[in-house]
Amino acid sequence: MFANVGDELIIEGHRVGEPRRVGKVEEVRGDEGGPPYLVKWDDTGRSTLLFPGADCRIEHAAGTTTRKDS
């Protein structure tokens, strides 16, 4: 997984009726855009450190790179 500061991080709900969680990447702690990420969640307004799983995807912000080698 690769992310830049400012990218949107999305975790879809795991059960029917459970809303998706959306946050913004505030810090990239791993090497070369890798996890963990400090994410500010839209629903709580607070930041947590996330080691993302397979249910997580990144929406790259406009103007940021989408791959570490691009």
d(CA 56, CA 70): 22
Of residues 31, 43, 37, the one with CA closest to residue 57: 37
26, 42, 55, 59: residue in contact with other proteins (rule CB under 8 A): 55
Task: Return the half-sphere exposure (C-beta side, CA atoms, 13 A cut-off) of residue 43.
Answer: 8
- Within 3-22, which residues bind other proteins (CB under 8 A)? 11
Minimum distance between the CB of residue 63 and other proteins, rounded to whole angstroms? 27
Instruction: Take residue 47 and report the two structure tokens written for it.
Output: 């930041």
Minimum distance between the CB of residue 22 and other proteins, rounded to whole angstroms? 14
Binding site for other proteins (CB under 8 A): 11, 29-30, 35-36, 41, 44, 46, 48-56
